[in-house]
Structure 1
Amino acid sequence: MQSTESDTGRGRCLLVIDFDHTISEKNTDSWVLRSLLSEDTVEKILASRQTEKFPWQQVMRNGFQALYNKNCFKDQIVNAIEEIPLVNGFAKFIESVGKQSHCEIIIASDSNTVFIEALLRKHKLVPYIDHVFTNPANFDNQGHLRLFPHHSHSCKTCEPNICKQKILRQHMEERERNGGKYDQIFVIGDGGNDFCPCKLLTENDVIFPRKGYRLIKKLERLSKSGDEEPVLASIVPWEDGEDLLASFKQVAGLRLE
Structure 2
Amino acid sequence: MTGLIVIFDFDKTIVDCDTDNWVVDGLGATALFEELLPTMPWNSLMDRMMSELHSQGKTIEDIAECLRTAPLHPRIISSIKTAHALGCELRVVSDANHFFIETILRHHGLFEYFSEINTNQSFIDEDGKLRIQPYHDFNSASHGCSNPCPPNMCKGLIIKRIQDSMLSSGEKRIIYLGDGKGDYCPSLRLAEGDFMMPRKNYPVWELITSNPLLLKAEIHKWSDAEEFEKVLLKLINIVLSADKKTPDLLSMDWKFPTVSKLRHGAFPLVLQLAYDINGSELESLFERFIKVAESKKVKNVNSSDRIASTVERVARKHIKGIHNSRDGNTNRQIQSYNSE
TM-score of the aligned structures, taking structure 2 as reference length: 0.65
Offset of residue 249 of structure 1:
2.9
Offset of residue 174 of structure 1:
2.5
Instruction: Say what the alpha-carbon RMSD is for the aligned residues.
Output: 1.8
1:244 aligns to what?
Answer: 228
Is the Cα–Cα contact under 8 Å of residues 112 and 136 in structure 1 kept in the other structure? yes
Question: Structure 2: which 5+ runs fail to align?
Answer: 138-142, 241-249, 251-267, 272-340
The alignment status of 1:23 with 2:14, answered yes or no, reads yes
Deviation string, structure 1 residues 214-250 (Cα, Å, up to 9, x no partner): 1111111123xxxxx7111111111223212222233
Is the Cα–Cα contact under 8 Å of residues 87 and 240 in structure 1 kept in the other structure? no
1:130 aligns to what?
Answer: 115
The alignment status of 1:56 with 2:67, answered yes or no, reads no
2:185 aligns to what?
Answer: 196
Is the Cα–Cα contact under 8 Å of residues 190 and 214 in structure 1 kept in the other structure? yes
Offset of residue 11 of structure 1:
5.8
Question: Structure 1: which 5+ runs fail to align?
Answer: 1-9, 224-228
Is the Cα–Cα contact under 8 Å of residues 92 and 241 in structure 1 kept in the other structure? no
Offset of residue 37 of structure 1:
2.3
The alignment status of 1:164 with 2:155, answered yes or no, reads yes
Q: State the distance in 2 between where 1:182 and 1:154 align.
A: 28
Is the Cα–Cα contact under 8 Å of residues 25 and 86 in structure 1 kept in the other structure? yes
Alignment map for 1:1-257 (pairs within 5 Å)? 10=1, 12-45=3-36, 48=37, 51-52=38-39, 54-87=40-73, 89-101=75-87, 103-152=88-137, 153-156=143-146, 157-176=148-167, 179-223=168-212, 230-252=214-236, 253=238, 254=240, 255=250, 257=271
> Whose helix proportion is higher, 1 or 2?
2
Offset of residue 38 of structure 1:
4.0
Q: State the distance in 2 between where 1:59 and 1:12 align.
A: 39
Offset of residue 92 of structure 1:
0.8
Q: Residues 87 and 216 (structure 1 numbering): CA distance in 2 closer, same or farther, change over 3 Å?
A: farther
Is the Cα–Cα contact under 8 Å of residues 55 and 159 in structure 1 kept in the other structure? no
2:298 aligns to what?
Answer: none
One-letter code of the match for 2:67? I
Q: 1:40 is paired with a residue of what secondary structure? A: helix
Higher relative contact order (CA 8 A, sep 6+): 1
Offset of residue 133 of structure 1:
0.6
Q: Residues 39 and 57 (structure 1 numbering): CA distance in 2 closer, same or farther, change over 3 Å?
A: closer
Deviation string, structure 1 residues 86-129 (Cα, Å, up to 9, x no partner): 1451111101101122x111000011110000000000011211
Is the Cα–Cα contact under 8 Å of residues 11 and 181 in structure 1 kept in the other structure? no
Deviation string, structure 1 residues 179-206 (Cα, Å, up to 9, x no partner): 2343221110100001111111122111
Q: State the distance in 2 between where 1:175 and 1:247 align.
A: 24
Offset of residue 175 of structure 1:
3.3
